[in-house]
Amino acid sequence: MAEIKENLISVITVCYNAENNLERTILSVLNQTYSNIEYIIIDGGSTDGTIDLIKKYADKITYWQSETDKGIYDAMNKGIQKATGEWINFMNAGDLFSSTTILQQMSDAIKPGTRILRGNIIRIYPKFKVKSVGVTTQEPDLMDMFDNTFHHQACLIQNSLFREFGLYSTDYRLCSDWKFFFDCVVLHNVKSQYVDLTVAHFKMDGTSSNNSILYKKEQESYLKNIYGEEQFNLLHELKVYRKLKIITLYYKGFCYMMGHLSQQNFSRLLMIKRFVRRILGISVN
């Protein structure tokens, strides 16, 4: 891999037969006011007019190539291996930055120690659009990442993370970006930072968008491989419980009570609970 250049942002676009979508993506990148950008395009051997579009802007593109690949993550890995920026963003064909100033805003928002900066996307459907925030907590844990993620279009990822923990896995067709973020945050305690900025517009016609069931199955397969079937099922139950506000309120109330009750009052409540269970014919613990 090439030597990393401080403050440089490498924007990588992966494409294949994208003549109808690519030019808007290219212009979205080239029109950024942030000046310290290198732009890399990895094409999967397109047979339509995609290559002509790339050549049209070749003098403004740092590096591009066109060759067959083994899928989107193989193509993204090729881009990473060519990137020299301290930070990497993936803006694939059809996706757009939300404004011409957003990379400058993202760069200005980075706090010391942050290794993944993450924001929001707008999901673009044929007849409507919706804001999607992903994980918003500043210190995400296992349960935050269990069935949620960071949107790679809305992230600045430190290049060095790929050197430390490896490239995107090509064992999965759809969920390797989620897996990479999960591994970084949950397994390696990498510091990430959420900013409430809408970074990108994401057109909902890509591979993962149209194969959401397979995406979930790949996630489950990976998690079961790490934690085992039984613990995965327990985590899945906990995810459901966390979404039920009444259970969350009960748990918070219980924790508050446990922190403020004297031993004498706790013993009285325990006695009452056991008496009620006996009256109702429920086994007493």
Residues 116-160 have pLDDT tens digits of 999 999 999 888 899 999 999 999 999 999 989 999 999 999 999
13's CB contacts (< 8 A; 6+ apart) are 22, 25, 26, 29, 39, 40, 41, 42, 79, 90, 91, 92, 93
SS3 state of residue 217: helix
Instruction: Dig out the tokens for 152 from the structure.
Output: 């790679």
Instruction: Dig out the tokens for 148 from the structure.
Output: 């949620």
Kindly state whether residues 185 and 273 are assigned to the same domain: no
pTM equals 0.85
Q: Would residue 235 count as lying in a domain?
A: no
**Residue 264 confidence (pLDDT):** 82
Using the 8-state DSSP alphabet, how is residue 154 labeled?
A: G
Q: Read off the pLDDT of residues 168-190 as tens digits, 9 standing for 90 and up.
A: 999 999 999 999 999 999 999 99
Kindly state whether residues 109 and 218 are assigned to the same domain: yes
> Is pLDDT of 208 > 60?
no
**Residue 245 confidence (pLDDT):** 67
**Residue 255 confidence (pLDDT):** 77
Kindly state whether residues 112 and 34 are assigned to the same domain: yes
Kindly state whether residues 28 and 161 are assigned to the same domain: yes
d(CA 157, CA 191): 11
268's CB contacts (< 8 A; 6+ apart) are none
Q: Count up the domains in the chain and report the number.
A: 2
d(CA 155, CA 192): 10
Q: Read off the pLDDT of residues 7-45 as tens digits, 9 standing for 90 and up.
A: 999 999 999 999 999 999 999 999 999 999 999 999 999
Kindly state whether residues 248 and 190 are assigned to the same domain: no
- Looking up residue 64, the CATH number of its domain turns out to be 3.90.550.10
Q: Would residue 232 count as lying in a domain?
A: no
7's CB contacts (< 8 A; 6+ apart) are 36, 86, 107
Please name which of 143, 139, 112 lies closest in space to residue 223, comparing C-alpha atoms.
143
Please name which of 285, 96, 283, 110 lies closest in space to residue 199, comparing C-alpha atoms.
96
Q: Would residue 55 count as lying in a domain?
A: yes
Kindly state whether residues 68 and 190 are assigned to the same domain: yes
92's CB contacts (< 8 A; 6+ apart) are 13, 14, 15, 25, 72, 153, 206
Kindly state whether residues 116 and 175 are assigned to the same domain: yes
**Residue 236 confidence (pLDDT):** 85
For residue 49, what are the domain limits? 5-227
**Residue 206 confidence (pLDDT):** 55
**Residue 139 confidence (pLDDT):** 96
**Residue 133 confidence (pLDDT):** 94
Kindly state whether residues 156 and 20 are assigned to the same domain: yes
Kindly state whether residues 141 and 271 are assigned to the same domain: no
**Residue 147 confidence (pLDDT):** 84
- Cβ-in-10-Å burial (0-12, 13-18, 19+) of 84 comes to middle
Side chain identity at 256, as an amino acid letter?
Answer: Y
**Residue 14 confidence (pLDDT):** 98
Q: How far is CA 218 from CA 68, 71, 228, in A?
A: 24, 15, 14
Q: Would residue 239 count as lying in a domain?
A: no
**Residue 207 confidence (pLDDT):** 52
**Residue 5 confidence (pLDDT):** 92
pLDDT band (50, 70, 90) for residue 247: low
Q: Would residue 185 count as lying in a domain?
A: yes
**Residue 284 confidence (pLDDT):** 59
Q: Would residue 48 count as lying in a domain?
A: yes
d(CA 227, CA 172): 18
Kindly state whether residues 257 and 187 are assigned to the same domain: no
**Residue 81 confidence (pLDDT):** 97
- Rg of the chain over CA atoms, in angstroms? 23
The chain-wide mean pLDDT, for the chain, equals 91
> Is pLDDT of 83 > 60?
yes
Q: Would residue 234 count as lying in a domain?
A: no
**Residue 271 confidence (pLDDT):** 78
d(CA 40, CA 229): 41
106's CB contacts (< 8 A; 6+ apart) are 117, 119, 156, 195, 197, 199
Kindly state whether residues 170 and 263 are assigned to the same domain: no
Q: Give backbone dihedrals phi and psi of 173, rounded to 5 degrees, phi first.
A: -85, -30
Q: Would residue 236 count as lying in a domain?
A: no
Q: How many CB atoms lie within 10 A of CB 23?
A: 17
pLDDT band (50, 70, 90) for residue 113: very high
Could you tell me if residue 254 is left (phi over 0), alpha (psi between -120 and 50 degrees) or otherwise beta?
A: alpha
Q: How many CB atoms lie within 10 A of CB 283?
A: 6
Average pLDDT rounded to a whole number, residues 227-231: 93
Least confident of 72-86, 193-207, 208-222: 208-222
Kindly state whether residues 215 and 274 are assigned to the same domain: no
